[in-house]
């Protein structure tokens, strides 16, 4: 019943209520977006790294995976040593580098991955078939690479490595058959990427027995710290990181996003408090005569307080409901803009909606609406009955 009266009172001034709801919706949408941003990018990054179940990354000393052009020499020995660890069930070496493909009279610049198909961790097959370990004439294409090369399954490509830009001459060229279309997990948007087996990639880029990194799959999550500790001791020239440690590195690089989310989230809460408190204060001042009459008829102060707080809660609920839709639309658009930055994987998301975090944001907003109604509720409950009625009569 109290909530019904609250909605009726808000409906007395529809334009004023509508403007207030619009302001609360914008503020709540900002808060929801900031909640999604504050921890969403880290969770998205962690899910991206664990997408194929490999929990450990091994790269050249002092670098993060694909953070530099440095490579690991003596790759075959290192991979054999890693696979010998009793807690390691799979090791997937990867070599990255620039490749080129002939398309008519021109060359198309590509990013190439050298992979071990028996333990691949960086792509998902979408069409066609995967490479096999001994397939030295097959190649995998991403959708952007296929579009730029106008290539389809079964086509033969002339792939060039170690290009001399001064004379546009290639030190090595291979004819490769398109086996499948894949989605590379770490590619940025519209990145033209291709994949071949590791030995072919090593010959194309002139890096025999080299690799950019190795990704490892441990027996279970509990074994990851043990594996990392052992490998750091056994291979001091390598950088060994678990996914959890990489997430920490990632968080440190993007700390300004978290700070921005805290600042804007706080601003949105302040705006919500001011809007709700201002509207309720104006409403209470206009209804002092009505409130005094109710008090004179026997309605106690607790009843008046509950009614005013119910109006604040109803106003916040309606504004938040509108803000959820606005926040989702805004988050999608902002995510498209942020993930279009060069060098960021297209699969990474900055705004990640999760029931738990959104539930916390909703609870904070409801609490905010209740707190904002405390002063107007006190104002309504403390108004002197006789003086207020006399003032209204005159």
pLDDT tens profile 38-80: 777 777 777 777 777 888 999 888 776 656 677 889 999 999 9
Mean pLDDT, rounded, for 129-142: 93
- 91 and 225 share one domain: yes
Give pLDDT tens digits for 301-359.
777 777 777 777 777 788 888 888 888 888 888 888 877 776 667 777 778 777 777 77
- 267 and 185 share one domain: no
358 in any annotated domain: yes
- 190 and 274 share one domain: no
- 211 and 319 share one domain: no
Residue 167: predicted pLDDT: 45
Give the residue with greater pLDDT, 294 vs 91: 91
Q: Which of 210, 236, 262 is a domain's end point? A: 236
**Res 4 pLDDT > 80:** no
The first and second tokens of residue 226, run together, are 């043990």
Mean pLDDT, rounded, for 169-187: 86
- 377 and 320 share one domain: yes
Q: Which of 206, 236, 266 is a domain's end point? A: 236
Domain coverage including residue 326:
2-48+253-393
Residue 178: predicted pLDDT: 96
Give the residue with greater pLDDT, 141 vs 332: 141
Which residues lie closer than 8 Å to 119 by C-beta, 6 or more apart?
90, 91, 92, 217
121 in any annotated domain: yes
- 162 and 282 share one domain: no
Question: What's the mean per-residue pLDDT of the chain?
Answer: 81
Give the residue with greater pLDDT, 30 vs 394: 30
Residue 269: predicted pLDDT: 80
- 146 and 220 share one domain: yes
244 in any annotated domain: no
Q: b vs e for 68-94, b when ≥16 Cβ sit within 10 Å of the residue's Cβ?
A: eeebbeebeebbeebeebebbbbbbbb
Percent of the chain with pLDDT over 70: 87
**Res 267 pLDDT > 80:** yes
Residue 350: predicted pLDDT: 79
246 in any annotated domain: no
180 in any annotated domain: yes
Mean pLDDT, rounded, for 151-163: 89
Q: Rounded to 5, what percent of the chain is helix, strand, coil?
A: 55, 20, 25
326 in any annotated domain: yes
Considering only 225-229, 296-300, 305-309, 373-377, which range has the smallest mean pLDDT? 296-300
The first and second tokens of residue 302, run together, are 């607790």
Q: How far apart are CA 275 and CA 101, in angstroms?
A: 60
Report the candidate in 200, 115, 103 with the shortest Cα–Cα distance to residue 145: 103
- 37 and 117 share one domain: no
Q: Which residue has the tokens 């490769």?
A: 176
Mean pLDDT, rounded, for 118-134: 89
54 in any annotated domain: no
- 38 and 83 share one domain: no
- Number of domains into which the chain is organized: 2
Q: Which of 236, 263, 280 is a domain's end point? A: 236
Residue 180: predicted pLDDT: 95
**Res 181 pLDDT > 60:** yes
57 in any annotated domain: no
Question: Which three-class secondary structure state does DSSP give residue 139?
Answer: strand
- 210 and 111 share one domain: yes
Question: Which three-class secondary structure state does DSSP give residue 191?
Answer: coil
DSSP 52-108: TS--EEEEETT--TTSSS--BSSHHHHHHHHHTSTTEEEEEEEEEEEEEEEETTEEE
Do the Cβ atoms of 33 and 40 come closer than 8 Å? no
- 289 and 157 share one domain: no
- 216 and 106 share one domain: yes
């Amino acid at each position: 019943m109290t909530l019904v009266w609250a909605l009726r009172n808000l409906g007395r001034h529809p334009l004023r209520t509508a403007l207030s709801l619009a302001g609360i919706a914008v503020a709540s949408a900002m808060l929801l977006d900031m909640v999604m941003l504050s921890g969403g990018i880290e969770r998205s990054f962690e899910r991206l790294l664990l997408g194929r179940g490999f929990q450990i990354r091994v790269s050249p000393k002092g670098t993060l995976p694909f953070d530099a052009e440095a490579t690991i020499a003596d790759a075959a020995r290192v991979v054999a040593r890693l696979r010998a660890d009793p807690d390691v069930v799979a090791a997937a070496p990867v070599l990255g580098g620039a490749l080129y493909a002939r398309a008519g009279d021109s060359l198309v610049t590509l990013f190439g991955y050298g992979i071990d198909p028996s333990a691949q961790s960086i792509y998902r097959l979408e069409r066609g078939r995967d490479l096999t370990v001994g397939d030295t004439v097959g190649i995998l294409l991403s959708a952007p690479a296929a579009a730029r090369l106008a290539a389809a399954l079964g086509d033969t490509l002339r792939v060039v490595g170690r290009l001399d830009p001064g004379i546009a001459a290639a030190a090595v060229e291979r004819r490769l058959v398109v086996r499948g279309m894949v989605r590379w997990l770490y590619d940025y948007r519209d990145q033209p990427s291709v994949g071949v087996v590791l030995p072919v990639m090593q010959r194309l880029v002139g890096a025999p027995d080299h690799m950019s990194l190795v990704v490892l799959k441990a027996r279970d999550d509990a074994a990851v710290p043990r594996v990392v500790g052992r490998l750091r001791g056994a291979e001091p020239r390598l950088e060994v990181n678990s996914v959890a440690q990489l997430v920490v590195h990632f968080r440190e690089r993007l700390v300004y996003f978290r700070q921005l989310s805290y600042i804007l989230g706080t601003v949105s809460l302040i705006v919500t408090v001011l809007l709700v408190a201002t509207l309720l204060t104006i409403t209470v001042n206009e209804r002092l005569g009505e409130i005094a009459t109710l008090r004179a008829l026997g309605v106690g102060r607790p009843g008046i307080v509950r009614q005013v707080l119910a109006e604040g809660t109803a106003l916040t609920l309606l504004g938040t409901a509108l803000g959820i839709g606005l926040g989702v639309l805004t988050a999608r658009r902002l995510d498209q803009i942020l993930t279009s930055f060069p060098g960021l994987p297209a699969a990474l998301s900055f705004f990640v909606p999760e029931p738990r975090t959104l539930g916390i944001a909703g609870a904070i907003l409801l609490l905010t609406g209740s707190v904002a109604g405390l002063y107007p509720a006190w104002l309504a409950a403390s108004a002197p009955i006789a003086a207020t009625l006399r003032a209204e009569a005159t």
